[in-house]
Every structure is written in structure tokens, then in C-alpha cells.
Amino acid sequence: MAKSDVKVLGAWPSPFVMRPRIALNLKSVEYEFLEETVGSKSQLLLQSNPVYKKIPVLIHHGKPVCESLVIVQYIDEAWASGTPLLPSDPYDRAMARFWAAYIDDKWFPSLSAIAKAQGEEGKEAAIAQVAEGLALLDDAFAKCSKGKPFFGGDKIGYLDIALGCFLGWLKVTEKMTNLKLLDEMIAPNLVGWSERFCSHSAVKGLMPETHKLMEFAKMLQAKFKAPPS
């Protein structure tokens, strides 16, 4: 399959963009990565995702697929002969989908809330929420992995991708708050898992370096604090 048959529209700092890229790597599918400029949206993006105008977008044979988790499931089904990303058992699939939705609907917003929190009390409450979520996810890991190294078992799967993409930003949050969130006390299983995930060949080249993300985060903060021109 020609490389240009598969395109991913995205940007390097976005954890959501990492998801389809990891999935394509796991399936050994070559693709063209089209980097969006931060602060502006290309014509192609606006055409391909008119509803949300957001990255990532996967374009396969000219047809766009939007929403990162929808894209990952599409990749799993469109390249069904490659390594499966979702478990084969319907109940295990439901659990993977449930926790991935939890990560997007509850956990990641709670992580973003730390930076936006007002005052010490606000910050502490936000941090407590993230820690609570990590404890829940740690428990989910024990159930889903069934003693194996990843949520998906022996291999990285849908839920590993759903959570793992946030590890870079989690490290940034830890540095900015001077607190260890992914900690033995809070989430013992996830500590080992995160190291395995980040060093996996399908992930390694994609996970942004923490110091680069920090610079990017500071740039964003400055941008929002600057008076409107």
C-alpha cells in the first residue's frame, strides 16, 4: 500500500494524535504525517473534520476518520490481519472501551484541571482527583492485564494506547506541581507499565521529550495570560 494512501493530520505535542500513530506502528502500516502549525488550522483539516476542526484526523484512501478512539478502532478493523488492538472476547472489549471512555471523559479533564485550578485548595482538590483516577486505573490494569505486562495482555492494545499517550503530559504536570502522581503508593502496577509502554518500539519515537513539552506548556500559558491584542 502506498504511503500516501494513509495520512495522519496532527501535531507533535498532542497526546490524542499519538494514539492513531501508535496504532499504525503496531500494525506496521506506513503513513504520511502532516503536521499542523500550532495556532492555525489547514484547509485540509477544516475540510476533513468540519464538525470539530480538531486533530487527529486519519485520511485513508481519501476518506477522513475523526476522533482519536474512533480512529484507533478503525485502524484495528481496517488492518484486521495485523496484530489485534482490541481483545477478542466481547466482555474484555467492553471493559477496554469503558476504561478508555473514562480516561477521556473523566481522567484527562481532571489532569487538565490542575493547571487551571485557582488557589492552593483548588489545586489540591484537582490533584486528589487525578490520584483517585490513577488508583482506579491501576485496579483496572490488574483486572485487564491478568498478570501480563500490558492492559492488552502480552502486547500493547487499545487501552494501553488510550492511557499511555498521556504519560508525557503527566510527567509535565508532576514537574510543575513538584508532586509524584504516578507513584508506588497510588498506582503500583501502572509505574512498571508506564516504563514498559514508553520504551516500546511502537511508542518510543513518538513520545515527546518532557523538557520539550514543558517549554510548549509554558508557551501556551504565556499565550493565554497575555493581554488580548
Binding residues for other proteins, per CB under 8 A?
A: 51, 60, 63, 65-67, 70-71, 73-74, 77-78, 90-91, 93-94, 97-98, 101-102, 136
In the complex, the smallest distance separating the C-beta of residue 168 from other proteins, rounded to whole angstroms, is 25
Evaluated on CA atoms 87, 91, 93, 99, the torsion sign reads negative
Which residues share a beta bridge with 33? Answer: 8
Closest CA to 149 of 192, 100, 94, 187: 192
Residue nearer to other proteins on the CB measure, 60 or 200 = 60
Residue nearer to other proteins on the CB measure, 17 or 71 = 71
Residue nearer to other proteins on the CB measure, 4 or 98 = 98
Check if the beta carbon of residue 6 is closer than 8 Å to that of residue 30. yes
In the complex, the smallest distance separating the C-beta of residue 190 from other proteins, rounded to whole angstroms, is 17
Check if the beta carbon of residue 83 is closer than 8 Å to that of residue 155. yes
Q: Rounded to an integer, what distance in angstroms lies between the CA atom of residue 215 and that of residue 218? A: 5
Residue nearer to other proteins on the CB measure, 107 or 193 = 107
Please report where in the chains the cell 488557589 appears, as a residue: 119
In the complex, the smallest distance separating the C-beta of residue 167 from other proteins, rounded to whole angstroms, is 22
Q: Decide the pairing of beta strands 6-10 and 32-35.
A: parallel
In the complex, the smallest distance separating the C-beta of residue 175 from other proteins, rounded to whole angstroms, is 29
